[in-house]
Structure 1
């Protein structure tokens, strides 16, 4: 019997579901799962999740939160509750994102990460099954450094280049999520082209460069390709440590019968041209991000997008519970 492209991929790479859709996770049974504010907001709008929303709201109210703080607490509880439900369906870890509005505040990010982890632990979830997801700003990476020292594992997201990946490696974070599709989208618009062959796809090449650098340097931080636009992009990174894939693309991979071979491997990385990087500090990091127009724009637009998604969830919960529309967090 011929294996599907998805089954072959699972033999080369840890497949992660990029979704808060419990039915999709139940269908594809990935090892791990990732969530973000946009995915949580979409899941919260589904009628079948009404009970989770009500439970989160009641718990927040029982903790004596009021008005805007009540909704913010309910969002954190709901986010964790989705994570708990996901963990019932998978054997591995779930990534849960810190409020993106804290992306440039190291202390606040650390505090929020601990709040989220405490919620997980209150539901009987061990910290080893949770990855705290943080934007790859300098401040976010330093928050991850502090959290990792305390044994709290982190997934650094909104990552668009080797400069961010190097800082994450220096901080000894558990995992990074370099984006593929958003890089492709940016270059298609900037260069006014409709497509790239996979061997020249700028998103695929960015992740490959990061992977090769990590394996050449013996860095233990895991690389998880994210934000895919097609199964060709996914298969162009077969062999990467992990790949987080949306349900629609998982479905396509399950139906595809092509032969899948490793596009990345430790051996190939070590045989590739050596990637040299200077020692990095806050000033050099921020200078590199600033001078990389693609990374700078995508990092900020990603943060802004996640903030907007949280605001939409805030409005959804206010409406669901008949609270004054003028309440602000």
Structure 2
């Protein structure tokens, strides 16, 4: 029998949740991603040693500061990953811009320009933005500009509805972080897959999109276990860590599909206004806390990265 991973690949597009070129070459996903946390990991990888050295040398020659080097290095790593996958590379906009529409749009255009300079066309790139109201509005502008976006740190149906209204290409609703919050809040050690709040959240978003004929791609993210991944078999896409990819690859059990396209005639969803978005998010303690925490943590890794790059430049 095919492995659980092979069975999953027959019904879902697999994305590697890693910036490690060696892991991507090993697991052969369709898409991959970068963010400050993954770039930090790439700094310690022998596979990217020469690339990093080249980017640092170029930055020194051009008198770049650490922030400029961080921007070019992130794209350089992404361009390298693009050579290893047939699909797209998601590349994150600085978390500090999560509440600034204009700055997010400018940075996104800068990322696309840098990729183009490295021979990677914009249709191979997804601009990754936090699912704040401002991040979603920036994505709406970018989609009009022909630049596709991946909205991350998504924990609620309100965020998903706003993303659909904005016409974004893809959303990354988080699973594991939702489950972490509920475990801590309610003192529960383990959830069965069908009762897992993170799994239920992605299923709710998926079914809402399909029932209303929404074309935005749903990509489940932030998995803590292979069981969570299996519980979303059939989702449009799933982004999975190398550890869980290996675990699924070694699993020879049967993997039934759990998510199916809605066969009923879709109905048009009512547009979500900003006040309703903010009120709905405010009323969801988990989503509010995890969104803010996620932005802080991405920025924390960004600051770590800046410090390391400052040392390399000196």
Which residue does 1:306 correspond to in 2? 298
1:36: Cα distance to partner? Answer: 1.7
Which residue does 1:50 correspond to in 2? 49
What is the CA–CA distance in structure 1 between the aligned matches of 2:133 and 2:76, rounded to whole Å?
29
The reply to whether residue 84 of structure 1 matches residue 72 of structure 2 is: no
1:278: Cα distance to partner? Answer: 5.3
What is the CA–CA distance in structure 1 between the aligned matches of 2:176 and 2:267, rounded to whole Å?
23
Query: Which runs of structure 2 are paired with 1:28-39 in the superposition (5 Å)?
Result: 28-39=27-38
| Secondary structure of the corresponding residue to residue 256 of structure 1 | coil
Asked if the contact 2:153/2:294 (under 8 Å) is kept, the reply is yes
TM-score (norm 1): 0.92
Aligned match for 2:289, one of 285, 288, 297: 297
The reply to whether residue 155 of structure 1 matches residue 154 of structure 2 is: no
1:63: Cα distance to partner? Answer: 3.6
Unaligned runs of 5+ in 2: none
What is the CA–CA distance in structure 2 between the aligned matches of 1:64 and 1:219, rounded to whole Å?
46
Which residue does 2:169 correspond to in 1? 174
| Secondary structure of the corresponding residue to residue 262 of structure 2 | helix
Which residue does 2:24 correspond to in 1? 25
Asked if the contact 1:56/1:75 (under 8 Å) is kept, the reply is no
Which residue does 2:251 correspond to in 1? 256
TM-score (norm 2): 0.96
Q: Per-residue CA shift, 1:129-186, capped at 9, x if unaligned?
A: 0000000000000000000001000000000010000000000000000000000000
Which residue does 1:115 correspond to in 2? 110
1:315: Cα distance to partner? Answer: 1.2
1:53: Cα distance to partner? Answer: 1.9
Which residue does 1:100 correspond to in 2? 95
Unaligned runs of 5+ in 1: 324-329
The reply to whether residue 41 of structure 1 matches residue 33 of structure 2 is: no
What is the CA–CA distance in structure 2 between the aligned matches of 1:150 and 1:86, rounded to whole Å?
24
| Secondary structure of the corresponding residue to residue 224 of structure 1 | strand
1:46: Cα distance to partner? Answer: 2.7
Out of 29-38 and 16-25, give the one that drifted further.
29-38
What is the CA–CA distance in structure 2 between the aligned matches of 1:63 and 1:320, rounded to whole Å?
14
What is the CA–CA distance in structure 2 between the aligned matches of 1:63 and 1:120, rounded to whole Å?
18
1:230: Cα distance to partner? Answer: 0.4
Which residue does 2:132 correspond to in 1? 137
Which residue does 1:327 correspond to in 2? none
Superposition RMSD on alpha carbons, in Å? 1.6
Q: 4+ runs of 1 displaced by more than 6 Å?
A: 274-277
1:277: Cα distance to partner? Answer: 6.6
Q: Per-residue CA shift, 1:82-114, capped at 9, x if unaligned?
A: 111111111000100000010000000000001
Out of 308-317 and 206-215, give the one that drifted further.
308-317
1:72: Cα distance to partner? Answer: 0.6
1:258: Cα distance to partner? Answer: 1.1
